[in-house]
Amino acid sequence: MKTNASAPLARLREQHPAPRLPRILVHCGTAGNAMGATRYLEELRIALGDRSDSVVEAASDGANWAAPAATVAQGTYMRRFERLDLHGIDDVIACFNGDCGDEANYAGTGGRGLTARLGRNDGTLGDVLAQGGYSALDRALTSTPEQLLDAIEDAGFTGRGGAHFPVATKWRLAAADTHRPRMLVVNAEEGEPGVFKDRHLLEGDPHRLIEGILIAHYAVGFERAYVYINGQARTARAIFENALADAAAAEIFSGAAWNQTFGLKIHVRSGAGGYVCGEESVILNSIEGERPVPRYKPPYATDRGLFGNPTIINNAETLCAITTVFEKPPPPTKLVSLSGDVPRPGLYEIPVDGATTWTSLLVMAGTNPLDVQAILIGGPSGVFVMAEQFEEVLEMRSLGAGGVVAFGSNTDLSQITRELASYNMRESCGECTPCREGTTRMVALLEHPAEHRKEIANLIEILTEGSLCQLGGMAGRPIQSALDQFPTAF
């Protein structure tokens, strides 16, 4: 990915040299720290003595099942050492000293896609630039905004926040409105239970999001960008703000590094919880200081969004994914947050290429698919996919935001269905009646579903059609799916 760098990018790389190898990346971040990774950071530093500079703190690479873990980077070779709590650090040190064993154990799939640098950099700009950072922006700047929009359209990018709206279509709507200041809102609220991809992206490769924001800015021309980060994701926010400061200091953010003036102002905001707070119009209200409830649509945000201005709202993963637009062929991948009854739960970047099935995902996660009776896709707004359907080919749309929970044979799926209904009831913001009353009623009906089949069907229809936002609008989905797939379980 280092080829064809423009003179400005080459200069940036000169000013910010790549780190020395070999080195040991200890996977800390929220996930690693929850498994005590910092302890191994210390142990390795002490063990390496005067070479302790070679032990660096990196974020999680998504392989949560392997935490606490460390990766040794020797030239282009990388080897990840898993479960240091079980295996200790001796093999890590041996590998650092040149004896890595011959087991093929590379960290992740390597090199491509939007997780290519995840957990494999120490957060310094030099490291990120050496691994291809800002080369997509560099390339974008050699085309016109219109050509860039065409490339994004041709690659078929859709939003990764759940609804999969075509990115180029949305961007064009705002790009056309040149008379008013345009706003970009980056949705990193990530409040859907079971989804943890945006936190990983922000912690593990914040410069990719900055690059995506700048590419969007070049295509559309924003006055301001707001990055709205989940209130609990404090580590993600701190890491992102540090990266932003580095990108500003290196004159990347201003555009001066390319002899350009981007003129984009950026604000970072924290949320304060609630599933509905990830809905785009709720975020607009939240940023404006209004009550965090959904807005009536129309008007759409692209017409009257933040402070009445044309506004683009994109998920954080969407903007990160855009940085892969020039990789050939553009890899249609989706981040999947996989949890539940599998040996290797974690974050997966899976190809949505017409060949990947649910079975492939489960096998990647170390499971015999026969041990899984069903998976839930999309959490409280999602659907169940039963074992018989695991051979179905994955489509972008069917993945939603990418939250997948696997259920082993002992799980009572009717109980899960009730939990989802009760979650939607608690999270209903109460702004509209169908959802406020309907989600409560649904919980009551699900106590004795067999006696209330008709009323449940009716209620699902009311929720779907009458709700103001898609929290209520999709609250019936898992129930309908349960009734279709395992009616006898109730």
Partner 1 sequence: MTNEELSINLEAMQDGTSGVDALPRDKDQLLPALLAMHQALDWLPREAISYVANHVQVPLSEVYATTTAYSELRLEPPVPGQWHVCTGIACNLAGADKLLDQIPNTARIDCQFLCALAPVICDEDEQLFGRVSVEEFRDRVNS
Which residues in this chain contact partner 1 in the complex, by CB under 8 A? 30-31, 33-35, 64-65, 67, 190, 193-196, 199, 230-233, 269-274, 277, 286-293, 337-341, 345-347, 376, 379, 405, 407-408, 411, 416, 419-420, 423, 429
- Residue 385's region, left for phi above 0, alpha for psi from -120 to 50, else beta, is beta
User: How many C-beta neighbours within 10 Å does residue 410 have?
Assistant: 7
Residue number closest to ligand FMN, CB atom: 159
Q: Which amino acid is at 439?
A: T
Between 294 and 402, CB nearer to ligand SF4: 294
Residue 200's SS3 state is helix
**Are 78 and 103 a contacting pair, CB within 8 Å?**
no
Q: Which helix (H) or strand (E) holds 360?
A: helix 358-364
Binder of residue 211, out of partner 1, ligand SF4, ligand FMN, none (CB less than 5 to 8 A by kind): none
> Count of residues binding ligand SF4 (CB under 6 A)?
15
Q: What is the CA radius of gyration of the chain?
A: 23
For the CB of residue 238, give the shortest distance to partner 1 in the complex, in Å. 13
Our finding on whether 428 is near ligand SF4 (CB under 6 A) is: yes
Q: Which amino acid is at 392?
A: E
CB-count burial class (<10 Å; 0-12, 13-18, 19+) for 219: buried
For the CB of residue 352, give the shortest distance to ligand FMN in the complex, in Å. 15
Q: Which amino acid is at 242?
A: N
Binder of residue 338, out of ligand FMN, partner 1, ligand SF4, none (CB less than 5 to 8 A by kind): partner 1
x/- contact string, 312-331, with ligand FMN (CB under 6 A)?
-xxx--x-------------
Binder of residue 472, out of partner 1, ligand FMN, ligand SF4, none (CB less than 5 to 8 A by kind): ligand SF4
Q: Which of residues 434-473 bind ligand FMN (CB under 6 A)?
A: 469-471
Strands 23-27 and 183-188: unpaired
x/- contact string, 167-206, with ligand FMN (CB under 6 A)?
--------------------x-xxxx--------------
Residue 319's SS3 state is helix
Cite the DSSP H helix spans in 16-89: 29-34, 37-48, 84-87
x/- contact string, 239-278, with ligand FMN (CB under 6 A)?
------------------------------------xx-x
Residue 68's SS3 state is coil
Size of the chain in residues = 490
Compute the distance between CA of residue 206 and CA of residue 149 in angstroms, rounded to an integer. 23
Could you list the residues that contact ligand FMN (CB under 6 A)? 159-163, 165, 187, 189-192, 275-276, 278-280, 313-315, 318, 469-471
Could you list the residues that contact ligand SF4 (CB under 6 A)? 276, 293-294, 428-432, 435-436, 467-469, 471-472
